[in-house]
Amino acid sequence: MEEYDVDIVIKNIFDSKDPNLWKPSDKIPLLTKEVEMLKNDLRTFLKNSDYDTESILEECGELCKETNGLIDGMETCKQEIEQETMAEILKSIESHDTLSKELESVNFALNIVYDVVQCGKYVKEFDDGREAQSFTRAVEAVYDLLQYIEMPAEGFKQLDMYNNTRHTAQLILDSLLSDLYTEWDRLISTSVKPGPKKTIITITLNIEDSLIVIDVLNALEKSKKLTEKVKDFSQFLLKDVLVPIINNDSVVFAETDELMTITVNNKSENKPSYIAVISNLRLLFHYLSNKLNIEYNKENSIMKMIGKQICVEFSDILVKDCLLDTIPNNINELQSYGKITSEIEDFQHFLAIVKFFPDDKISILKYVNNIDILFASKSSQYFLETARSIMLKDLSVTMSIGVENIPEVNPGTSSSSVGETEEEALKILDKTIPKSLFYFPRCMISKTAQELLDLVYVMMEQAVQCSDVVCKKLYNTTRLVFELYDAVVPYHHENYLQTIPQYVALFHNNCMYLAHNLQTFGDKWLILMEGRELDYPISFVDLVQKIRDLGYRHLAVHMQQQRKQILDNIRSSDLNCIVVKDVLSDNAEAAVRQCLRQLHLLKNVWIGVFPINVFTRLMATLVNMFVDELIHRVCTVEDISMEMATQLTDMYTLVVQKAPLLFQNHSDVELYVKSWVKLQELIFVLGGSLKDIENHWSDGTGPLAIHFNIEELRSLIKALFQNTQFRANLLAKIK
């Protein structure tokens, strides 16, 4: 039979473009017809089928009857089970509950008994360990007991035995630890005996490769106390033994195989050399290695444990407090520094052999990687310390420097090897720049100034031989030297600079000399650095004026002190009160003589120290101030008696006689003291007549008109002469 598609059949029956054109009554006959056709097809199919349908139906009926019979039998069994078997099951369940409760009770008692037995077992193991004199077995038994009773069976905690056992176990453990600590102190003992001059440290190690020692170490490890004890001993070694050996002069001596003595000198002025430190450390670590390198558990030893505790800190201290001091402060020693690094490397290898250093994990030569930076810092520190020590020296130890006369021709400008253009440029430069720029005048300076300059030249020569890092550091250090000079010298020599004229003169000359050299110091540095690329400028010109101002400032302060002293001498005498006196007392002349003596002392101190031109200007300044004050005292007086005029003439004449002697060339007083002629004219007025004054006035063209203003001269005439017609006529002319 062909495949029957219901969907196609229905579609064919009901297919219509307009659903409103048909009614259900129209389609029912078609559907009925289709159903009949299907029935006929089914009958035909069944007749033509190979199966006996009737036999199959009969067999199905018989199976249904048998099934119904089985269902009835099952219903009967169900009823029997519900009535008889279930009653027996309920009885069994009740018996099971009773047995379960009995079993739980038995298990509860059994667990408690088991815990009691186990506690007894651990106590027995402890007793066996103690009888065998094995700390390890005893410690293990006690720790197992304490650990076991931390998680007891239910009900065991309620027994008195639990608390007693726990308390007893703790007491046993404390006793064991006490015995172990005693054994540890017997194996490793130390002492420190400090004294005023030296400290004596002893280390006694009674450790040997024996079962007893290994048993004690294992027991301490089992009780988790070995690390604590090793840590305490390690800190003792570091702080009380290793650090003093590194920083102080020490003697390490092995008295016996078990006893080591370290004697530390507390008052040693200098730190020990690295050779002495390494030698002492080798002796110490060799002694420790012989005793502490016993492997007691899994290739572990006390020496390794000590290394893990302090090796890093020890390395840092050794490098910082000892090995960094081996870095030289000059280039020649730096070039041979490989010998020192080789010795340090051997010592590092030794520490690895004695198992204090883990292999290839700790290095005390790391600092060599930054040797340039460390060398730069070390040499800079050395040069600064050296410079400061020079600055603290006495300034009065002197030397002579400079030239008496500046040559007429600058030797640097006459060269036949230059071209015409260069020669012309040099001629213009020679005319523009004063020759005095290249020469320093003859004077006295402190030897310390020359020492400081020599030190700076050494720094420059060393810098140009080093790497750029070192060179830059030394250049900055050189600048710091001169800034340090500004800070240290005036402060350290303050008292002398305030009271001793020679110190002021020498300090002034020192500053000028240093500034003079700083003008060309940068150029000299650059010439030596030719061919190297620099990322920073090299110049000292900015420091020139700073150093000069330092000298100027202290000289100016001292000049003010001298000026004040001269003025105080005059103003404390009768010269300060001419108005109210007819005759001057002796203190007026004494004051003038005191001022002259003061200036004469300055001459004796300064001449030959200052350059002659500086000395002349300074002396002229003080003399001119002295003369101005003398003139001012007279020119401001309204009335001067004849006796006082005579006294003033004598005193001022003394000044005219003595003042030229204050200069190296006596004629310099007329050239550099502005008020010198005015003083001479004042003496003339004090001792002259009105006629003489009129002649010196000479209708406003004479010397009096040149050196006195009209008001001063008129005031002098009124003070010295009585009011006469001749005086009135003369005053009328002076207008």
- Residue 578 is part of a domain; what is its CATH number? 1.10.357.150
> Is 599:501 a contact under the CB 8 Å cutoff?
no
Beta strands in 105-211 (DSSP E): 188-193, 198-205
pLDDT at 594 over 90: yes
pLDDT confidence of residue 114: 47
d(CA 178, CA 464): 68
Give the strand pairing for 295-297 and 259-265: unpaired
pLDDT at 390 over 60: yes
Domain for residue 696, yes or no? yes
Q: What token pair was written down for 172?
A: 């046993």
Per-residue confidence at 141, pLDDT binned at 50, 70, 90? low
Domain for residue 644, yes or no? yes
pLDDT confidence of residue 119: 52
> Cβ neighbours of residue 631 under 8 Å, at least 6 residues apart?
675, 678, 679, 682
Q: What percent of the chain has pLDDT over 90?
A: 22
Return the residue matching tokens 């005693």. 182
| Residue 536: φ, ψ to 5° | -150, 150
CA distances for 652 relative to 224, 630, 634, 649, angstroms = 103, 8, 11, 5
Domain for residue 324, yes or no? yes
Domain for residue 292, yes or no? yes
- The 10 Å Cβ neighbour count of residue 663 is 22
pLDDT at 211 over 80: no
d(CA 227, CA 536): 56
Last residue of a domain, one of 338, 364, 390: 364
Q: Which of 637, 633, 634, 682 has the alpha carbon at shortest distance from 656?
A: 682
- The 10 Å Cβ neighbour count of residue 15 is 8
Q: What token pair was written down for 458?
A: 């050494």
Least confident among 178-192, 393-407, 696-710: 178-192
Average of per-residue pLDDT across 712-723: 85
Q: What is the pLDDT of residues 160-183, one digit of tens each?
A: 455 555 556 566 666 666 777 777
**How far, rounded to the nearest angstrom, does the alpha carbon of residue 156 sit from its chain's CA centroid?**
64
| DSSP state for residue 237 in the 8-state scheme | I
Domain for residue 79, yes or no? no
Return the residue matching tokens 């690094």. 341
d(CA 97, CA 109): 19
What number of residues does the chain have?
735
Domain for residue 15, yes or no? yes
Average of per-residue pLDDT across 26-46: 76
Per-residue confidence at 416, pLDDT binned at 50, 70, 90? very low
What DSSP line would sit under 138-202, residue for residue?
HHHHHHHHHHHTTSPPTTGGGSHHHHHHHHHHHHHHHHHHHHHHHHHHHHEEEEEE--SSEEEEE
d(CA 220, CA 181): 9
- Counting the structural domains of the chain, the total is 3
Per-residue confidence at 21, pLDDT binned at 50, 70, 90? low
Least confident among 118-122, 556-560, 707-711: 118-122
Higher-confidence position of 560 and 295: 560
Q: What is the pLDDT of residues 498-519, one digit of tens each?
A: 889 999 999 999 999 999 999 8
Least confident among 157-161, 576-580, 585-589: 157-161
| Rg (the chain; Cα; Å) | 60
Least confident among 120-124, 301-305, 493-497, 706-710: 120-124
Q: What is the pLDDT of residues 232-245, one digit of tens each?
A: 888 988 888 888 88
Least confident among 85-89, 170-174, 272-276, 437-441: 170-174
Return the residue matching tokens 């004229």. 501
Q: What token pair was written down for 501?
A: 């004229």
Last residue of a domain, one of 311, 331, 364: 364
Q: What token pair was written down for 540?
A: 């000292």
Q: Quote the domain boundaries for residue 20.
A: 6-50
Higher-confidence position of 153 and 734: 734
> Is 482:510 a contact under the CB 8 Å cutoff?
no
Residue 88 host element (H or E): helix 86-131
pLDDT confidence of residue 462: 86
Domain for residue 237, yes or no? yes
Domain for residue 253, yes or no? yes
- 308-329 burial: b if 16+ Cβ within 10 Å, else e: ebbbeebbebbbeebbeebbbb
Per-residue confidence at 158, pLDDT binned at 50, 70, 90? very low
d(CA 151, CA 172): 20
Alpha helices in 267-397 (DSSP H): 274-292, 302-321, 331-335, 338-353, 371-391
Last residue of a domain, one of 344, 364, 384: 364
Least confident among 132-141, 421-430, 514-523: 132-141
